[in-house]
Amino acid sequence: MKKIILMAVAVLGFTVAAVAQPRAVGAKLGWGVDASYQHTVGKDFVEVGLGLNNFISLDAYATYNFMIAQPQWTDRGEWGFYAGPGAAVGMNLIGDNSYFHLAAAGMVGLEYTFWFPLQLSFDLKPQLGYGFGYGFHWSVTPSLGVRYRF
């Protein structure tokens, strides 16, 4: 009985800790369009996204971003400079030349979180990968992000 109560308290504690972390959801527009989700992990954050890369391939990506600096450029709101590694997987959607691809991804960017729940960001997402039926490829995708932070 003690083990069950201890396990229930541990699960409840982990759930409360996960829910208490700031999150953000929104969209990114650049050489394509992505739906983006961020989850804060301590000072850093994990970002996952799904979208159209260069409007020709459907991509899903995940990056773990380290918050490198948070300069105090303004009295209100927060600035953040971040970078981190990740991975991407996708499907090219070019007619008869469709192919599946895997890639090592990264992200480097600058974000501003307002004093109200809005976050703006600019980032670059380099990818180096292999497309089955296509071969090796690389890309660097710039994007502007707008997210609701909660």
Q: What is the pLDDT of residues 25-69, one digit of tens each?
A: 999 999 889 999 999 999 999 999 999 987 788 999 999 999 999
Q: What is the mean pLDDT of residues 3-27?
A: 66
Q: Is it the case that residue 118 has pLDDT exceeding 90?
A: yes
Q: Would you say 130 and 105 are in contact if contact means Cβ atoms under 8 Å apart?
A: no
Mean pLDDT of the chain: 88
Which ranges of 21-120 does DSSP label H, i.e. alpha helix? none
The confidence band for 93, taking pLDDT boundaries of 50, 70 and 90, is confident
Q: With 0-12 CB in 10 A as exposed, 13-18 as middle and 19+ as buried, what is 37?
A: middle
Which ranges of 71-118 does DSSP label H, i.e. alpha helix? none
What pLDDT score does 99 carry?
86
> Which residue, 19, 52, 21, is CA-closest to 36?
52
Query: Would the pTM of this model clear 0.75, i.e. be above it?
Result: yes
- Residue 116 CB: number of other CB atoms within 10 A? 8
Amino acid (one-letter) located at 9: V
Cβ-proximal residues to 73 (8 Å cutoff; 6+ apart), any chain: 79
What pLDDT score does 84 carry?
98
Q: Is it the case that residue 11 has pLDDT exceeding 60?
A: no
What pLDDT score does 53 carry?
81
Helix (H) or strand (E) segment spanning residue 40: strand 32-41
Q: Is it the case that residue 9 has pLDDT exceeding 70?
A: no
